[in-house]
């Protein structure tokens, strides 16, 4: 049988810890635009797909940038990891909307890109996300270039 003294002794260290410090908020840097290159997207019976390179530029003194290759398809609303080509300790993921189920034959309307600014020592990790309308250019137009501007940021504990 566990005594009350033993139970109290085991829980005291946890009680002695003060409230955790709330992570500081990070704002989206001004004029921080991510560049999409070599965008290609198309749809077939099996679903829609995309492939592109994304460059998330460095914000001097704040955020280390990356370049990544993203290639995937519809994913039930889940982000899929992209392969880092340049940069370290930060990650990129992407997704497209699922194809509308309205009989129109249209493909997903938006591409979303997510950038993970990895945490370090006492700084939490931050996730930045932005989106743009999709362009379906498979076999009908050259690969496209466009920009994505992050519109959301949140800390990851």
Predicted structure pTM score: 0.79
Measured in whole angstroms, how far is the alpha carbon of residue 11 from the centre of its chain? 38
Residue 135: phi and psi, rounded to 5, are: -125, 125
107 is a domain residue: yes
User: What is the model's pLDDT at position 11?
Assistant: 36
Domain count, the chain: 1
Write out the two tokens for 2: 């566990």
119 is a domain residue: yes
26 is a domain residue: no
64 is a domain residue: yes
- The C-alpha atoms of residue 137 and residue 144 are separated, in whole angstroms, by 8
**For residues 94 and 112, is the Cβ–Cβ distance under 8 A?**
yes
45 is a domain residue: yes
- The C-alpha atoms of residue 92 and residue 121 are separated, in whole angstroms, by 21
Domain ranges, residue 116: 31-156
Confidence grade of residue 105 (pLDDT, cut at 50, 70, 90): low
List pLDDT tens digits, range 135-156: 888 878 889 999 999 999 998 8
For the chain, the average pLDDT equals: 82
98 is a domain residue: yes
3 is a domain residue: no
Closest CA to 56 of 81, 77, 37: 37
Least confident interval from 19-23, 97-101, 109-113: 19-23
20 is a domain residue: no
User: What is the model's pLDDT at position 75?
Assistant: 87
Confidence grade of residue 7 (pLDDT, cut at 50, 70, 90): very low
């Amino acid at each position: 049988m566990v005594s009350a003294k033993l139970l109290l002794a085991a829980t005291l260290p946890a009680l002695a810890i003060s409230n955790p410090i709330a992570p500081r908020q990070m704002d989206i840097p001004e004029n921080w635009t991510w560049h999409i290159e070599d965008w290609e997207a198309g749809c077939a019976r099996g679903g829609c797909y995309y492939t592109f390179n994304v460059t998330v530029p460095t914000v001097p003194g704040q955020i280390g940038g990356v370049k990544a290759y993203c290639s995937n398809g519809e994913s039930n609303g889940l982000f899929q990891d992209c392969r880092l080509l340049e940069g370290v300790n930060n990650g990129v993921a992407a997704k497209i909307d699922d194809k509308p189920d309205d009989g129109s034959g249209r493909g997903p309307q938006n591409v979303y890109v997510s950038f993970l600014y990895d945490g370090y020592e006492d700084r939490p990790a931050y996730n930045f996300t932005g989106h743009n309308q999709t362009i379906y250019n498979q076999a009908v137009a050259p690969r496209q270039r466009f920009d994505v501007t992050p519109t959301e940021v949140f800390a990851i504990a």
